[in-house]
């Protein structure tokens, strides 16, 4: 297993990218440690609904073969964001009523805006969306059980 990058901090908030066939699936992750954390995202479960559904769950970090990217958007040293705060902000943003590919990233950025409006993080520039897209695009090689996801710190959020 590759070592844990120094930019990774339990308790910080990350935009997470998961490798899939086209663009990465995008979510928000609040790690409790290097092994796991709390994930909020939207997903389509074609068995029960053809539309996006909000989900909060525990997510494996170290050793997950699809998690490739973690972009820190809020450091715990600036004040903790609780799981309750994260879930409350995520629940306030409606899931799209369609099954269009790519909605997950748009939803995540709306949750980030909600967190900023709630004064839980600072969003300095809307370019954070493009920042994550550019960062995650080169991280497919990190989607392996023996690699820790690639970690970076946002220039536009804190």
Average pLDDT over the chain, rounded to whole?
92
pLDDT tens digits, one per residue of 136-145: 998 989 999 9
Pick from 158, 155, 151, 70: which is nearest to 115 by CA? 158
Per-residue pLDDT for 108 more than 90?
A: yes
Residue 53 sits at φ, ψ, to 5 deg, of -130, 135
- Backbone φ/ψ region at 116: left (φ over 0), alpha (ψ -120 to 50), beta: alpha
Structure tokens at 63: 């050793």
Tell me the CB-side half-sphere exposure of residue 111, using CA atoms within 13 A.
29
Structure tokens at 32: 């409790």
Per-residue pLDDT for 152 more than 80?
A: yes
Structure tokens at 43: 């997903």
Per-residue pLDDT for 64 more than 90?
A: yes
pTM: 0.94
């Amino acid at each position: 297993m590759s070592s844990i990058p120094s930019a990774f901090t339990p308790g910080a908030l990350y935009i997470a990218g998961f490798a899939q066939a086209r663009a990465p699936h995008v979510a928000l992750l609040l790690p409790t440690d290097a092994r796991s954390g709390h994930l909020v995202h939207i997903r389509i479960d074609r068995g029960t609904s053809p539309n996006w559904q909000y989900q909060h769950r525990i997510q494996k970090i170290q050793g997950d073969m699809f998690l490739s990217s973690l972009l820190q958007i809020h450091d715990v040293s600036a004040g903790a964001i609780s799981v309750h705060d994260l879930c409350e902000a995520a629940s306030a943003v409606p899931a799209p009523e369609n099954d269009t590919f790519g909605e997950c990233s748009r939803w995540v950025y709306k949750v980030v805006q909600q967190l900023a409006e709630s004064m839980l993080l600072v969003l300095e520039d809307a370019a954070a969306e493009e920042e994550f897209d550019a960062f995650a695009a080169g991280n497919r090689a990190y989607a392996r059980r023996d690699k820790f996801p690639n970690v970076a710190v946002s220039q536009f959020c804190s």
